[in-house]
């Protein structure tokens, strides 16, 4: 299953690279506009294809008629209660007709959100900027065996590893020295003489990864317009689906995830800075309603 999800992620990443290529040199807001337009139209088309359009149209007409009745008979409590009951029942029927389209759209929407998070969730480090590298292991006993973070030219590991056995985590601080794409090596089973403890001991003992395993994580510095994978994982299929951009971590290493705390990114529309998730949902809904008369879809 992990292999299948990785293949799906890789295919989606290539597809989004192709879709966004025409606007890759422009402001990121243009990429968001393009994806929102395509997503809004696609979701509208899927809804129309997988829903009972005639039944939805009849239900909307009944609800509209009952709402008019509420205005006309608002002083007659008995009639008003009956009309509200009919509106509630029709609303539940409408939700039933919408359930299948929503289930069909769930996977495409999830894949789209994961790709947008990969591209607009965080920004690369600037030269001189600092970040944390967090390694989470499956078993806290691995921390006692030793974890070491190594970097090449372009990235400096500034602090010793801080061990947090209760969280099964080790953290380092890094600093970017020059623009580029770099690789960090996490060596498992290699003692780090600089590592310090934040807790007295690791809870429990268990199997650890074999000595001198290596897990790699990419670091982006000063290079805009590229996907930035801030988390590499391999724990389970859903976790991997949510964090594309890098291959899954092999289970035999014993490492659950490697994360870099990049600065959060913001999109700018007409001078207003917004989170990518807010921008996507608003824009995709606007485009969906704009194309509703053209595709003749009842929603």
Nearest one of 8, 26, 22 to 267, comparing CA atoms? 26
What pLDDT does residue 209 have? 39
Is the pLDDT score of 210 beyond 80?
Answer: no
Place 230 in a pLDDT band, splitting at 50, 70 and 90. very high
- Mean pLDDT within 202-229: 69
Contact indicator for 86, 66 with CB cutoff of 8 Å: yes
Residue 284 belongs to some domain of the structure = yes
Residue 182 belongs to some domain of the structure = yes
What is the percent of the chain with per-residue pLDDT over 70, rounded to a whole number?
A: 92
Instruction: Check whether residue 154 and residue 93 sit in a common domain.
Output: no
pLDDT digit string (tens) for 1-49?
778 888 888 999 999 999 999 998 888 999 999 999 999 999 999 999 9
Instruction: Check whether residue 142 and residue 239 sit in a common domain.
Output: yes
Residue 265 belongs to some domain of the structure = no
Residue 62 belongs to some domain of the structure = yes
Instruction: Check whether residue 190 and residue 113 sit in a common domain.
Output: no
Place 75 in a pLDDT band, splitting at 50, 70 and 90. confident
What pLDDT does residue 17 have? 93
Instruction: Check whether residue 43 and residue 114 sit in a common domain.
Output: yes
Instruction: Check whether residue 105 and residue 159 sit in a common domain.
Output: no
DSSP characters for 137-176?
ESSTHHHHH-EEEEE-TTEEE-SPPEEEGGGTEEEEEEEE
144 or 60: which leads in pLDDT: 60
Q: Give the range of the structural domain holding residue 49, as residue numbers without chain letter.
A: 2-121+271-295
Instruction: Check whether residue 212 and residue 141 sit in a common domain.
Output: yes
Is the pLDDT score of 148 beyond 60?
Answer: yes
3-state DSSP helix/strand/coil % of the chain, to nearest 5? 50, 20, 30
pLDDT digit string (tens) for 95-127?
898 899 999 999 999 999 999 999 999 999 999
What pLDDT does residue 191 have? 58
Instruction: Check whether residue 57 and residue 83 sit in a common domain.
Output: yes
Is the pLDDT score of 159 beyond 70?
Answer: yes
Instruction: Check whether residue 183 and residue 233 sit in a common domain.
Output: yes
- Mean pLDDT within 240-261: 90
**Cα separation, 16 vs 11, whole angstroms:** 9
Instruction: Check whether residue 74 and residue 171 sit in a common domain.
Output: no
Instruction: Check whether residue 137 and residue 233 sit in a common domain.
Output: yes
- Mean pLDDT within 222-226: 76
What pLDDT does residue 21 have? 92
Residue 282 belongs to some domain of the structure = yes
Number of domains in the chain: 2
Instruction: Check whether residue 13 and residue 114 sit in a common domain.
Output: yes
């Amino acid at each position: 299953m992990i292999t299948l999800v990785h293949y799906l992620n890789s295919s989606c990443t290539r597809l989004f690279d192709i879709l966004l290529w025409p606007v890759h040199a422009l402001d990121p807001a243009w990429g968001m506009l393009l994806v929102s337009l395509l997503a809004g139209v696609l979701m509208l088309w899927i809804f129309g294809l997988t829903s009972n359009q005639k039944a939805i149209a009849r239900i909307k007409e009944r609800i509209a008629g009952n709402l008019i009745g509420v205005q006309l008979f608002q002083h007659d409590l008995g009639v008003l209660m009956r009309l509200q009951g009919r509106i509630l029942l029709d609303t539940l029927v409408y939700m039933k007709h919408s359930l299948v389209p929503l289930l069909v759209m769930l996977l495409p929407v999830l894949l789209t959100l994961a790709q947008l998070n990969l591209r607009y969730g965080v920004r690369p480090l600037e030269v001189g900027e600092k970040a944390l590298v967090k390694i989470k292991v499956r078993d806290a006993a691995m921390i006692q065996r030793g974890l070491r973070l190594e970097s090449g030219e372009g990235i400096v590991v500034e602090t010793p590893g801080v061990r947090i056995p209760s969280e099964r985590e080790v953290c380092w601080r890094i600093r970017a020295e020059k623009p580029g794409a770099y690789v960090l090596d996490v060596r498992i089973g290699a003692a780090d003489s600089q590592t310090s403890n934040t807790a007295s001991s690791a809870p429990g003992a268990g199997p650890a990864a074999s000595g001198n395993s290596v897990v790699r994580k990419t670091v982006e510095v000063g290079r805009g317009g590229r996907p930035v994978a801030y988390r590499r994982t391999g724990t389970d299929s859903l976790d991997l689906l949510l964090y594309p951009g890098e291959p899954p971590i092999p289970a035999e290493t014993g490492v659950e995830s490697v994360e870099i705390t990049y600065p959060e990114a913001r999109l700018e529309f007409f001078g207003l800075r917004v989170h990518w998730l807010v921008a996507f949902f608003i824009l995709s809904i606007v485009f969906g309603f704009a194309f509703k008369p053209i595709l003749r879809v009842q929603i």
